[in-house]
Structure 1
Amino acid sequence: MFESLKKKLSRTSDKLEEEIIEEAKGEDNLQEEEGKKRSFFSFGRKKEEDKADESDDSEEEEKKSRFWSRNKDDTSEDEDVDDDDIEEEIEDSSDDEVVDDSLEEGEVKEEKKSSFWSRSKDKDEEEEESSDDDDEEEEEVVEEKKSRFWSRGKDKSDDEEEESSDDDDDEEEVVEEKKSRFWSRSKDKSDEEESLDDDEEEEAEEEEKKSHFWSRNKDKSDEKDSDEGSGGLFSFVREKTISEKHVDDILFELEMGLLEGDVAMEVATEVVESVKEDLVGRKIKRSSDITEYTYNALRNAVAEIIDIPGKSMTEMIEEKKAQGEPLVVMFVGINGTGKTTTIGKLANYYLKMGYTPVIAASDTFRAGAIEQVTHHADNVGVKIIKHQKGSDPAAVAFDAVEHAKAQGKELVLIDTAGRMQTNTNLMDEMKKIKRVANPDLVIFVGDALTGNDATQQAVKFNEAIDIDGVILTKADADSKGGASLSIGYVIKKPIMFLGVGQGYDDIMEYDADWMLNQLFSEDDGVAVEE
């Protein structure tokens, strides 16, 4: 929707940026930096992403906290178990120890624990010393036997060589056995060291996985930025100020663009003046500032235009229901705008909300009008009040109101004949229906595709009958958006509903914030620099 207006708004930002950068080049007041290109429309999307990132970060922190707290709980449980074991052993040995009566109970426990750990440490040291002594004794035995072996070899005669060789073999076997024992111990130590190395490698791998996990979110955000493209970011050596000469030509082009998009003259002028007042005097340091300030100025200007205060039809139904009366709504407009179909949609809309509507077929002049509105009433399942073709339209409206009051129905929808705003006789007939039925709401139904014509029609109907609100049909097919932007502001009456399709469910209550997002959000916007 509203593609034409979107392009004109983003082009305004591009032109202003080009103007200021060109001037800065002539002043030798420009330097290029590395940066990411972003769409004009991404400034609104960026705020939403920041909110989403904040919520994601809070969830991530909560998960981290829960993870570490679980580990801490497990560790504390292990420590409690160890302390219990220690205390049991201390209690078993407490009979052999003397404790100072002046110590507190906690200090006693601490002293016993300290004593226990010191005893364990002494035992470990004694075992190590004993193992060292055993090794030294074994080595001395080996050296002594070697010495005796060689001395015996020298003293014996040649005829004892065979016997000595047998002894030699025995001694060698002993030596080999001791060597084997020695190397096996060394191997066991090396295996332990290797297992420790393996544990360290596993810890390193675990740390790497954690690092990879936490960096994934960062990588995703980097990917989003890289999708916009890189390069083209400029900053100014001396701070620049947006002046009237920068914006005059550009805003004149914007005004012409809005008029081409069927925006009413007074609305286009109001938007331009608001943007000019917002931009002139702004201090800028980087080219991205220009885009951001223009985006905000345009968004604020449009927000003021499209937000016309007024009660919703649903609120008014509830107020009338509290008084025991039905809400009476009269629909006016020219032929072919979708007035009768809109009545069928509204009957279906409020029927699904739990209300009971009734339709008055007060278009008694157009051929087939009564049959058409009856067809819609039958399709959605609501009561219709109708007279013969050519009968008094005001009488039909009066009967429908009386029926609603008698049956306790909450909503009366009055269909009227389509008429051009220049047809004086039909406009007088419409005034008569209003006097007789005394509607709470008079709603103008306009075709969004007719653009500025719909605005002019609404002005004429408002002058003749004083309308209370507007429904725009075919809004889903409106590429220009002129009527949606202008009609409420021009007649100072709110848009109440938008028709967004041909089905009975294709109608929505108007929401100014939704309209603003339609105008200032786009996935594939024009790339600008940031």
Structure 2
Amino acid sequence: MFDGLKDKLSSFREDAAEEVEEKAEEAETEADADATADAEAAPDPETERGSDASDGDATASDAAAADDAGEDSGPGRLKRAAAFATGKVIVEEEDLEEPLQDLELALLSSDVEMSVADRILDTVREKMIGETRAQVETTDQLVTEALHDALLDVISVGQFDFEERIAEADKPVTIVFTGVNGVGKTTSIAKLSEWLAERGYSSVLANGDTYRAGANEQIREHAEALDRKLIAHEQGGDPAAVIYDGVEYAEANDIDVVLGDTAGRLHTSNDLMAQLEKIDRVVDPDLTLFVDEAVAGQDAVKRAQEFNDAAAIDGTVLTKADADSSGGAAISIAYVTGRPILFLGVGQGYDDIELFDPEELVDELLGETE
């Protein structure tokens, strides 16, 4: 999962660490050469014993001024060399210029949304530039920590404990699923129903997709396979009424969760988006989850923004995450919408759904998992 992005992040870590180390070594080498040259050019003490004291003062003043000039442009070559000689490195902005340009291209080519890429780059700069770290920690560790914090910053936006939310909410909990055609909403509903059952929660399915021919048959197959109750109306009926009936059934039968499907709608279809707004008004769901394919990349991010505008979403389910090498949607959606990714679909089976953990994903992207 996200193998292409992993490789690109690994390249940045190696390049940035190598660049910082090389610049520090160059500073030390130049400082050593200057020290040797100064020693060779130093006048004989006996010859200079009678020289004017003011000349010495002027020489010291000039040296101090030169060192101050170095300080004005950054830590200064002498300071940097001294730090390196004592087992430390100081990171300057010029060290990261080229590696960060490469990282930006890597993120954009992995379908990471531009504002998200900019945020990651800014965070890496903030975490690294001007930092002094002991070499025993390794420069690679410094780069890795900065990248870890930058990725976690954008991926974990709005994150909450989904299972805790279900446990603490008044029952029944109503969850409505939205998204475009063919992204796996109905299958995700079936998977979540099974995920809930494994944790002791009962659920009823409500088919609010009353527009598409065959929609009732598709969700009924899942309901029968899982032995779940299905609430459905005839094709062309009112989607809000179907989901409302699902809530009434759950209340009458002590069902914990109502899982409501909706028509796969294009975010550019005003009529369908208005219908989604009506469901939001009539049913007042506890959670509205946006479903899209991880492989859709920036298209998924744009659609998430549109759906969030129509009827505020509470989180995202990304399907086909196991088939996505770029990782752009997983990196971007939470930051752009302000709503978290909650689940990843990782296969075709009913148990192929994983609760999303931002920390685990970042560790995986940086190769820090066993």
Under TM normalisation by the shorter chain, which class is it? 0.7 to 0.9
CA distance in 2, matches of 1:313, 1:335: 25
In structure 2, the partner of 1:396 is: 242
1:90-124 per-position Cα deviation (integer Å, ceiling 9, x unaligned): xxxxxxxxxxxxxxxxxxxxxxxxxxxxxxxxxxx
In structure 2, the partner of 1:29 is: 29
Indicate conservation of the 8 Å contact 2:276/2:310, yes or no.
no
Is 1:463 the counterpart of 2:312? The answer is: no
Is 1:293 the counterpart of 2:142? The answer is: yes
CA distance in 1, matches of 2:137, 2:173: 52
1:391-447 per-position Cα deviation (integer Å, ceiling 9, x unaligned): 111111111111111111111010000011111111011111221212111110011
Structure of higher CA gyration radius: 1
Indicate conservation of the 8 Å contact 1:358/1:404, yes or no.
yes
State how 1:37-56 maps to structure 2 within 5 Å.
none
Please list every run of 5 or more consecutive structure 1 residues that lacks an aligned counterpart in the other structure: 31-234, 525-530
CA distance in 1, matches of 2:243, 2:20: 62
CA distance in 2, matches of 1:312, 1:289: 35
In structure 2, the partner of 1:267 is: 116
4+ residue runs of structure 1 moved beyond 6 angstroms? none
In structure 2, the partner of 1:16 is: 16
Is 1:283 the counterpart of 2:129? The answer is: no
How big is the shift at 1:21?
4.4
Tell me the SS of whatever aligns to 1:328: strand
Q: Over aligned residues, Cα RMSD in angstroms?
A: 2.1
In structure 1, the partner of 2:151 is: 302
How big is the shift at 1:318?
2.4
In structure 2, the partner of 1:77 is: none
Is 1:421 the counterpart of 2:267? The answer is: yes
Please list every run of 5 or more consecutive structure 2 residues that lacks an aligned counterpart in the other structure: 31-82
Indicate conservation of the 8 Å contact 2:28/2:84, yes or no.
no
1:436-475 per-position Cα deviation (integer Å, ceiling 9, x unaligned): 2121111100110111111111001001111111111111
Tell me the SS of whatever aligns to 1:504: coil
1:385 maps to a residue whose letter is I
How big is the shift at 1:309?
3.8
How big is the shift at 1:284?
5.1
CA distance in 2, matches of 1:359, 1:241: 59
How big is the shift at 1:25?
5.7
Indicate conservation of the 8 Å contact 2:363/2:369, yes or no.
no
CA distance in 1, matches of 2:144, 2:251: 51
State how 1:9-158 maps to structure 2 within 5 Å.
9-24=9-24, 26-27=26-27, 29=29
State how 1:216-295 maps to structure 2 within 5 Å.
236-237=84-85, 240-283=89-132, 286=135, 289-295=138-144
What TM-score comes out, normalization by structure 1 length? 0.57
1:487-513 per-position Cα deviation (integer Å, ceiling 9, x unaligned): 111111111111111100111111122
In structure 2, the partner of 1:319 is: 168
Evaluate the alpha carbon distance shift between residue 523 and residue 360 of structure 1 in structure 2; reply closer, same or farther with a 3 A threshold.
Answer: closer
In structure 1, the partner of 2:6 is: 6
Mean Cα deviation higher: 267-276 or 306-315: 306-315
State how 1:488-503 maps to structure 2 within 5 Å.
488-503=334-349
Is 1:347 the counterpart of 2:193? The answer is: yes
How big is the shift at 1:338?
0.4
In structure 1, the partner of 2:325 is: 479
1:265-312 per-position Cα deviation (integer Å, ceiling 9, x unaligned): 111111111111111112356497321110111011112222234443
1:135-192 per-position Cα deviation (integer Å, ceiling 9, x unaligned): xxxxxxxxxxxxxxxxxxxxxxxxxxxxxxxxxxxxxxxxxxxxxxxxxxxxxxxxxx
Which has a greater percent of helix? 1
Indicate conservation of the 8 Å contact 1:29/1:236, yes or no.
no
How big is the shift at 1:328?
0.5
CA distance in 2, matches of 1:427, 1:345: 25
1:216-255 per-position Cα deviation (integer Å, ceiling 9, x unaligned): xxxxxxxxxxxxxxxxxxx954754211111122212111
CA distance in 2, matches of 1:8, 1:253: 9
Tell me the SS of whatever aligns to 1:361: strand
CA distance in 2, matches of 1:18, 1:472: 36
How big is the shift at 1:317?
2.7
CA distance in 2, matches of 1:27, 1:313: 52
Evaluate the alpha carbon distance shift between residue 3 and residue 288 of structure 1 in structure 2; reply closer, same or farther with a 3 A threshold.
Answer: farther
